[in-house]
C-alpha cells in the first residue's frame, strides 16, 4: 500500500523515535491482584470499548507511522472474547515484516489453550506475570487466581516454542522471602525474570502502597549475595536494567519506574481499549483517537490526531511514594494502560 511510505515516522519534541505501542485490549480481568485492582472494580460499559476491528485499524495506523513492536495487554488480554482474531489480523504485519515483534503481557490463566495459536500468529515471546510459586500466596495476591492454571499455561508456552519472561512485583512482607527461589526456578525453566517495583497507580480501597513498597536496590543487593549478577547492555528502551545470572545463564531485570533515569530513551506510547492514547505512563495528558477513528473510514483524521499526540509527548513523569504521598500519582489503574 503506498500509504506506508506517506506516513512519516513518529519523532517526539525531545527527538525520541516512537517505535513501540502497548495496547490494552480490555480493562477486564479474571484476577483481582491486590496491587492492581480493588475487588469490586467497576469496568467500562461495553459501548465505550473499541471493537476488535477498530483496534486492528488503530494498530495498523501506528505500524504505518513506524511502530515496530506491538504489545497487547490489559486487563487480561486473553479474556477478551475472540481476541485471537485480533492476533491473527495483526499477524499479517509480522508476515510482511512491517512489524518486528508482536507480543503480549498476560497473567497466564488462559495461556494453555492459546499458546500454540499465538505462535501461529507470529508471537515468539511473551511476558507472564507471576509473583510467587506458593499456591496459597498466589491465591492471596491474585484473590481469584489458581497457580496450577498458570503453570499449565507456562508449560504450554514452552511446548509451543514461545520465549517467556516472568514479571514479578516485589511486595514487602509478601513474596520477599522467595526471590532466590524465583531466580532458581526461572533458571531451571529457561525463563528470563524481571522484578517490578510497585507503582502508585489507581485507588485500591484497603491496600496501602507504603506497606507494599520494596525498593529494588535492596532486592538486587540481597540477590547479589547468592547469585553472580553480570552487567549487560541489553536494553528495551524501557525502565528495566538487565543482568545475566552467571549460575543459570538467564537474564534478570529490575524495573524501577520511580526513578527518572529511563525517560530519555523512552520509545513507547500506550493505547487503551477506548482508543485513548497516553503519551507517558506517569502523566494524565491523553489524546482521544476514537473520535477521529469513527469520524471517517479514511485514516486522514486519525493520522493527524496521532501526529498531534506525539507532538505532546512529555519529557518524563513524576511518581512519588512516601509517607506524605500515600496516594496515587495518577488516578487511573494499571489495568487501564496495561503497564
Chain positions contacting ligand SF4, by CB under 6 A: 29, 31-33, 36-37, 74-76, 107, 129, 335
Position 162 contacts ligand SAM (CB under 6 A): no
36 binds ligand SAM (CB under 6 A): yes
Query: Any residues with CB less than 8 A from the CB of 104 and at least 6 apart, and which?
Result: 71, 72, 73, 77, 78, 118, 123, 126, 127
Among ligand SAM, ligand SF4, none, residue 198 binds (CB under 5-8 Å by kind): ligand SAM
User: Considering only 85-93, 181-189, 197-205, 272-280, which stretch makes contact with ligand SAM by CB under 6 A?
Assistant: 197-205
Distance in Å, CB of 198 to ligand SF4, minimum: 11
Bridge partners for 277 per DSSP: 271, 287
Binding partner at 330 among ligand SAM, ligand SF4, none, C-beta below 5 to 8 Å by kind: none
| One of 19, 26, 103, 106 touching ligand SAM (CB under 6 A) | 106
**Position among 19, 129, 175, 272 found at the interface with ligand SAM (CB under 6 A):** 129
Using the contact rule CB under 6 A, the part of the chain among 183-191, 194-202, 229-237, 238-246 near ligand SAM is 194-202
How many helices (DSSP H) and strands (DSSP E) are in the chain? Answer: 12, 12
Contact residue for ligand SAM among 74, 122, 145, 292 (CB under 6 A): 74
CA pair distance 104, 76, nearest whole angstrom: 10
To which residue does cell 479514511 refer?
298
> Phi then psi for 241, rounded to 5 degrees?
-115, 135
CA 154 centroid distance within chain? 17
Residue 35: C-alpha distances to residues 102, 130, 206, 310 (Å): 27, 13, 10, 30
C-alpha grid cell, residue 144: 481469584
Q: Report, in Å, the least distance between residue 108 CB and ligand SAM.
A: 8
The entry of ligand SAM, ligand SF4, none that residue 244 binds, CB within 5 to 8 Å by partner kind: none
* Residue 213 interface partner, choices ligand SAM, ligand SF4, none, CB cut-off 5-8 Å depending on type: none
Q: Which residues of 273-284 are buried (b: 16+ CB within 10 A; e: fewer)?
A: bbbbbbbbbbbe
Q: Tell me the C-alpha distance between 44 and 318, whole Å.
A: 27
Query: CA–CA separation, 169 vs 187, rounded Å?
Result: 18
Q: Name the site residues for ligand SAM (rule: CB under 6 A).
A: 29, 35-36, 73-74, 76, 105-107, 129, 167, 169, 196, 198-199, 201, 334-335, 338-339
Amino acid at each position: 500500500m503506498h500509504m506506508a511510505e506517506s506516513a512519516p515516522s513518529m519523532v517526539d519534541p525531545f527527538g525520541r523515535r516512537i517505535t513501540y505501542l502497548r495496547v490494552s485490549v480490555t480493562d477486564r480481568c479474571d484476577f483481582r491482584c491486590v496491587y492492581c485492582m480493588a475487588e469490586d472494580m467497576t469496568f467500562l460499559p461495553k459501548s465505550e470499548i473499541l471493537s476488535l476491528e477498530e483496534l486492528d485499524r488503530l494498530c495498523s495506523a501506528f505500524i504505518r507511522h513506524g511502530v515496530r513492536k506491538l504489545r497487547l495487554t490489559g486487563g487480561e488480554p486473553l479474556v477478551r472474547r475472540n481476541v485471537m482474531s485480533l492476533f491473527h489480523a495483526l499477524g499479517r504485519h509480522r508476515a510482511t515484516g512491517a512489524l518486528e515483534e508482536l507480543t503480549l503481557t498476560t497473567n497466564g490463566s488462559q495461556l494453555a489453550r492459546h499458546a500454540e495459536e499465538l505462535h501461529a500468529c507470529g508471537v515468539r515471546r511473551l511476558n507472564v506475570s507471576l509473583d510467587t510459586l506458593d499456591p496459597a500466596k498466589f491465591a492471596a495476591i491474585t484473590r481469584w487466581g489458581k497457580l496450577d492454571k498458570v503453570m499449565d499455561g507456562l508449560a504450554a508456552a514452552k511446548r509451543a516454542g514461545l520465549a517467556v519472561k516472568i514479571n514479578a512485583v516485589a511486595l514487602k512482607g509478601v513474596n520477599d522471602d522467595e526471590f532466590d527461589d524465583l531466580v532458581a526456578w526461572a533458571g531451571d525453566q529457561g525463563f528470563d525474570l524481571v522484578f517490578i517495583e510497585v507503582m502508585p497507580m489507581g485507588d485500591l480501597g484497603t491496600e496501602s502502597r507504603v506497606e507494599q513498597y520494596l525498593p529494588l536496590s535492596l532486592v538486587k543487593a540481597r540477590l547479589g549475595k547468592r547469585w553472580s549478577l553480570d552487567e549487560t547492555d541489553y536494553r528495551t528502551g524501557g525502565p528495566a536494567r538487565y543482568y545475566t545470572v552467571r549460575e543459570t545463564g538467564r537474564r534478570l531485570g529490575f524495573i524501577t519506574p520511580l526513578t527518572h533515569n529511563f525517560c530519555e530513551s523512552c520509545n513507547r506510547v500506550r493505547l487503551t481499549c477506548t482508543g485513548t492514547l497516553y503519551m507517558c505512563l506517569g502523566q494524565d495528558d491523553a489524546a482521544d483517537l476514537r473520535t477521529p477513528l469513527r469520524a471517517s473510514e479514511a485514516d486522514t483524521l486519525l493520522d493527524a490526531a496521532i501526529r498531534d499526540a506525539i507532538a505532546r509527548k512529555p519529557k518524563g513523569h513524576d511518581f512519588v511514594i512516601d509517607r506524605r504521598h500515600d496516594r496515587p500519582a495518577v488516578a487511573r489503574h494499571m489495568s487501564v494502560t496495561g503497564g
